[in-house]
Amino acid sequence: MHIEFLVDEESKEAALKNLVPGIIGTNDFGIVIYQNLMGDLLRTLRAYRRWMPLDWKIVVLIDRDQKDCRELKARLEEAAHTSGLSTKSSARGQANFQVLNRLSIEELEAWFFGDPEAIHKAYPRIPANISNKAAYRDADAIRGGTWEALQKELQRKNYYPGGMPKIEVARNISGFMVPERNRSRSFQVFRNGLLAIAAI
Domain boundaries, given as residue ranges, for the chain: 2-107+183-198, 109-180
pLDDT at 93: 62
Q: How confident is the model over 50-79, as pLDDT tens digits?
A: 999 989 999 999 998 767 888 999 999 999
Side-by-side strand order, sheet with 56-63: 29-33, 2-7, 56-63, 99-104
pLDDT at 182: 97
Per CATH, is 2-107+183-198 categorized as 3.40.50?
yes
Spatial contact of 186 and 127, defined as CB atoms under 8 Å apart: no
Q: How far apart are CA 178 and CA 173, in angstroms?
A: 10
CB under 8 A, 24+ apart: contacts of 66-75 = 66/106, 69/103, 69/105, 72/103, 73/101, 73/103, 75/38
Helix (H/G/I), strand (E/B), else coil: 144? coil
pLDDT at 69: 85
pLDDT at 95: 64
- R_g of the chain computed on alpha carbons: 17
Q: Which of 84, 110, 109, 113 is nearest to 99 (CA)?
A: 84
pLDDT at 144: 86
DSSP 60: E
Q: How confident is the model over 126-137, as pLDDT tens digits?
A: 999 999 999 999
Q: Which regions of the chain are under pLDDT 70?
A: 66, 93-95
